[in-house]
Structure 1
Amino acid sequence: MFFSATDLLLKPYSRTGNSHIRNTQMKRNLHPDTVYSSAFYSKDVADCWDKYADREFLEEHNIDLESYEAQNMINFFEVRNLLATVTTVGPYCREIVRDFYCNLTEAVKDPRYLKYGKVYVRGQIFSFSPGVINRFLHTPASDDVALPSMNEMTSFITRGQVSEFPAHPKKLQAAKITSLYSVLQKNAVKTWTPSGNSTVVTKHQAPVLYAIGTGVSFNYGRLVGVLIKGELS
């Protein structure tokens, strides 16, 4: 569970232009007579609570600035507009984060619905989109660039030690990647692509490590959105 969703990534929904119309419509739908409770948008959402009640959290961590400065990595992150992604982690409330995930319905991904790009949390509507995430973390809303094949990226980050990304159930061992990518991977499991196993490079992590290491531009907000919305499937 990507813990910082509500505490770091959500902003009140904007009331400008057509957005104001959509927000007014949403507020009408969120009248006390129609909202199931202060915590849950609907009964269907409330019925999903057990799915999240006992879920473990993968907690994000800020980097050790002194240690990373000694490795000349602070400038590395600044050049790539990623410094805020590894230095702005703050405290969070587990119950609210669980509420967020519970209320994160399929409608958040579908432009046909009023809840598109919005999430109900504790009686309030919050915007949830790549743009909101990028503005908060000062990451560019870049168009994603086509990356090499997974096998090519695997070979690159391991400097040829591994020529193909291992097929399931085999894993790409973190010990095989180069020193730069090892530093990045240790950070990735705590921030960019959270994972409970730091000894392997996941299929989500490999492209991110490659892009960051080579300076390839990518949309960080979109990445976070994909990872969080993946909880819906």
Structure 2
Amino acid sequence: MASQKADNTSSRTLRYDSSQAFSHFFFSKANRVNWSSMSTQPIIAERIWSKKGGVLGIITDLLLKENLMLTVTKPNSYVMDIVYEFYENLSQQSSVAGSPFYHMVYVRGHVFDFSPAIIDEYFGRSHAESDDLCEYIPDTYIDLDEVATELIGVPTKWESRPRSSTLTSKYAILSRIGLCNWFPTSHATTIDEEIGRFLFRVGKGLQLRLGESIFKQTVSHADGRSSRTHLVFPSLICDILKSQHAIQLDRELCIFVSKFHILTDRFLEGKHLVDIQGENQSVQDQNSNNTTSPQIDNSTNNGAQIQLLRDSIACLDVKLEKILGQQAEIVHQQGKIYEFLATVITRK
């Protein structure tokens, strides 16, 4: 019956109607066939901003000014299978105006609205402003050499992807946020043209099209055609879907996103050109003139020890990321076992 339904669906023009779906979980038979491949792809989850690291006022001001604060405070949790099913059913046609799939996706028996406007609304942004062609400067009008000079702080040609370690303090912090929550990637040490222009817009106060950018990145994974190996924006996807229909099963566990820390001192030294002032910097300057303050040992050995400790922290960060990925996989496998157990109990 299911295969006959799929054949009938393929023989006529599709409307995105849940009654025409191949099954409760898959809109087409092709989606079902590709499930084993899709459900094994790793997920890069957004992160929530922890303020323990000493948030710099200028960065907070920038996020508030550009209405980006919710992008670092709203991520919460996600359900892995819902994310996989979303991407498995998502069609490249969802970005094509006039297509029956335009700005829609089928998940668990329902057709959901998923569009740049929905994403902007989720983050409390005005999509009408994003569509204002009078104020928006297209990326092609933003010179990459100007972007490189702004990000690095000295006259620079855009000849290759700049490394995050070469950016000014302000843009190093913004890139740390962006590579987690705006352009999530597993290669978080370099800045490509799209990310560079986006950071340039944030830093210079130019108009952003956040919803459009996130939508474009998401749809790039549709139909299993993306060259990327990681699925992105799981918390956003689950929140948007669950706001329209209750689709989470009682047995399904939520995976909570991890925190990321902005360490003030880390971005105010080293190779970074300091173009911002930390919240505590003026206090430190006052203390440096106080004769009762402890003297800082600037010896070579002390500096080497500090660098060693920082390297150790960086290694631990890498190990933590790996452990979190393993934890997510264990939770996924646990869910599968619970599902099988429920099936066995039902048969009895």
Length-normalised TM-score, structure 1: 0.80
Q: Which consecutive aligned stretches of 4+ in structure 1 deviate over 4 angstroms post-superposition? A: none
Assess, with a 3 A threshold, how the Cα gap between structure 1 residues 70 and 153 changes in structure 2: closer, same or farther. Answer: closer
Distance 1:51 1:207 in 2: 33
Aligned residues: 201
Distance across 2 between alignment mates of 1:177 and 1:154? 9
| 1:37 aligns to 2:23 (yes or no) | yes
What aligned pairs does 1:18-33 form with structure 2 within 5 A after superposition? 26=16, 29-31=17-19
Is 2:18–2:110's contact at 8 Å kept on the other side of the alignment? Answer: no
Map of 1:51-200 to 2, 5 A cutoff? 51-67=37-53, 69-141=55-127, 142=130, 143=132, 144-146=136-138, 147-160=141-154, 162-166=156-160, 171-200=161-190
Fraction of identical pairs, as percent: 21
Quick one: which amino acid aligns to residue 214 of structure 2?
V
Cα offsets for 1:14-38 (capped at 9, x unmatched) = xxxxxxxxxxx64xx322xx31111
TM-superposition CA deviations, 1:57-88 (whole Å, max 9, x none): 11110112354544443232111111111110
Bigger share in helix? 2
In 2, the alpha carbon distance for the partners of 1:149 and 1:48 equals: 41
Partner of 1:7: none
Deviates more, 1:37-46 or 1:183-192: 37-46
* Segment of structure 1 superposing worse, 40-49 or 117-126: 40-49
SS in structure 2 opposite 1:89?
coil
The 1:128/1:120 distance shift into structure 2, 3 A limit, reads same
Determine if contact 1:140/1:219 at 8 Å carries over to the other structure. Answer: no
Q: Distance in 2 between matches of 1:157 and 1:137?
A: 26
2:111 aligned counterpart, secondary structure: strand
C-alpha deviations, 1:97-146, integer Å up to 9, x for none?
01111111122122222221100011111111111111110123224323
Structure 1 unaligned blocks of 5 or more? 1-24
For 1:47, the aligned partner's letter is: V
CA–CA distance in 2 between the matches of 1:52 and 1:162?
A: 41
Asked if structure 2 preserves the Cα contact closer than 8 Å seen for 1:77 and 1:83, the reply is yes
Partner residue, 2:206: 216
* Structure of higher CA gyration radius: 2
Match among 191, 200, 216 for residue 201 of structure 1: 191
Displacement, 1:198?
1.9
Q: For residues 148 and 28 of structure 2, what CA distance do their matches in structure 1 show?
A: 44
Once the two structures are superposed, residues 34-59 of structure 1 have per-residue CA deviations (whole angstroms, 9 ceiling, x without a partner) of 31111110001222223322111111
RMSD: 1.8
SS in 1 for 2:43: coil
Q: So what's the TM-score if we normalise by structure 2?
A: 0.54
